[in-house]
Structure 1
């Protein structure tokens, strides 16, 4: 984004060259093949393979000016801060996954237990991502809530329960798909949805609500790490500090509706924006905020999903 990178170049004289990759798998493949970079964008729950492969290096948090201002909930997750205290990602933006429902079509929905096993007036949709939906149902069954606490047996039980549900109309595959399903009334609620889905529907005059489930809402977060063979270390830390600055994070909050990791954004953001996207939520609901991640046995989860989807 020019509005973020241009001020950095002007204030430091450092030119930033960027390269875009489709996902973490492509990033890992490029780095393994010898692609040289200083800074790597990574997301919690997906960065483990980069860390295990030695493609990134631990962050020296003494060089991150606003490290202490970052919400504690953004520092959760082993690929952000591991059990040894090593920091791998400086988190910048995030968002939450929960429930979106049509307030005029069904009564209040407050939990995954209610959505999947309770009284909902109409059909629902679940995410087509196996891990997302199995995780949501496992939480409804009382397991987890952290994904690494869900055993193979509990994941299988969650899929068994999924197969038995008769009010699941379909799976949804993207924001546009889900918005269409809700806007047409084909479904009245959906799991693993984000607040911006409800916001988009409200803009169309539809009374949609996002709610953080009682079992906990999953927090995704992305940020910046440093490549293991970074040649411009001082410049890398300078760029990361620039992105952590609350003024830069405000740009992403206003443009994309992202939560910000730097708590100092609360001092400069309009209250309307804070309320609309829950900028203060990570700091105020840590007890029900769960870091996004991957299961220990991802292959089994994918195989179990085929019993439902296949």
Structure 2
């Protein structure tokens, strides 16, 4: 019933967004197609100082929804996908290249993020993606229900004794990142057909324990708060929010298989209708070092600018789990861009798994 409601809600939003002409906006301020919450002006202080008007924002619930809206004709200047979807968007003709020479923080991106396969540039050197925020999908658990020793492996998600006490995201990328780690993989772009079958079978075992597939932080926060689940495969933000509420939760970053790291950022959309100079000013404001501390302290996510991360109070980094960024990024499965045929297989198979097949 909830999923039906969400589909109807997304359909209504979709129709409203497409029916609103881009020309109706005020002036030539850039339009940013983004996740809810990223409209916070504290994420672009330099832009706010330079211009009287704030950038405009339109929101999507997930990247598949965003992709379909853009393919249907919705126009904006920038969008905020995560790395694993950039190739798909580029190949669909939704993007135009970035001019890296106009991005002042381009050379300051964290080395561990720069090293991700096919992330910032294509093989021919063309720039397509500016990393902005990054974080983890990892094992979150109730510390009053499980001990750290019990939470030492991501395979706990498939343990029959936790039937009905587990939640993972309704998100194919996070799901297969979990499954890849369970198989001992750190580079999911090289997943063989046999490994894909093993990963899918693991997710079928996890499905038997799933109480709900969460779609946003509200779902997972409520499930933990209402004592519906003991563990989840989730994001840093959830731990930060629930700890503020006094709930006994923690993120296990030291499972023997490791954890998954996602990197999201900005792409320049084809036929962007706004002022291109303002658009680059907004990108430069968001990637500037001064934004890093706000990102870490308020969102509990890392910022892509290495200089900015280096300037943050070590106590804050320790509290948020980013004390040793280089070591941290070394022990992870990066959600790198996937071959399109593999991504399509994952999408189709995950739908079957969720339906119980």
Bin for the TM-score computed over the shorter chain: 0.7 to 0.9
2:296 to 228, 249, 253: 253
Instruction: Tell me the distance in 1 between the aligned counterparts of 2:353 and 2:269.
Output: 40
Q: 1:28 to 1:159 in 2, by over 3 A?
A: closer
Structure 2 matches for 1:194-209, cutoff 5 A?
194-209=235-250
Which string of whole-angstrom CA distances, capped at 9 and with x for unpartnered residues, describes residues 47-102 of structure 1? 22321133323333333222222112333243533334432111111211100112
1:158 to 199, 216, 220: 199
Aligned to 2:35: none
TM-score with structure 1 setting the length: 0.81
Aligned to 2:107: 68
Aligned to 2:180: 138
Tell me if the contact between 2:134 and 2:264 (Cα under 8 Å) persists in the aligned partners.
yes
Number of matched residues? 307
1:263 deviation in Å?
Answer: 1.6
Tell me if the contact between 2:41 and 2:48 (Cα under 8 Å) persists in the aligned partners.
no
Q: 1:34 to 1:167 in 2, by over 3 A?
A: closer
Q: 1:157 to 1:88 in 2, by over 3 A?
A: same
Which string of whole-angstrom CA distances, capped at 9 and with x for unpartnered residues, describes residues 6-51 of structure 1? 642533x585642414254565556556665544433212222321
Aligned to 1:53: 92
Structure 1 residue runs without a partner (length 5+): none
Aligned to 2:147: 107
Instruction: Tell me the distance in 2 between the aligned counterparts of 1:162 and 1:267.
Output: 38
The question of 1:298 aligning with 2:343 is answered yes
Structure 2 matches for 1:1-310, cutoff 5 A?
1-5=40-44, 7-11=46-50, 13=51, 17-22=55-60, 23-25=62-64, 27-28=66-67, 37-75=76-114, 76-108=116-148, 109-116=151-158, 123-142=165-184, 144-164=185-205, 168-173=209-214, 174-190=216-232, 192-212=233-253, 213-229=255-271, 232-280=275-323, 282-292=325-335, 293-294=337-338, 296-305=341-350, 306-307=352-353, 309-310=355-356
SS at match of 1:297: helix
Structure 2 residue runs without a partner (length 5+): 1-39
RMSD: 3.4
Instruction: Tell me the distance in 1 between the aligned counterparts of 2:354 and 2:106.
Output: 43
Instruction: Tell me the distance in 1 between the aligned counterparts of 2:256 and 2:122.
Output: 27
TM-score with structure 2 setting the length: 0.71
Tell me if the contact between 1:162 and 1:308 (Cα under 8 Å) persists in the aligned partners.
no
Q: 1:199 to 1:5 in 2, by over 3 A?
A: closer
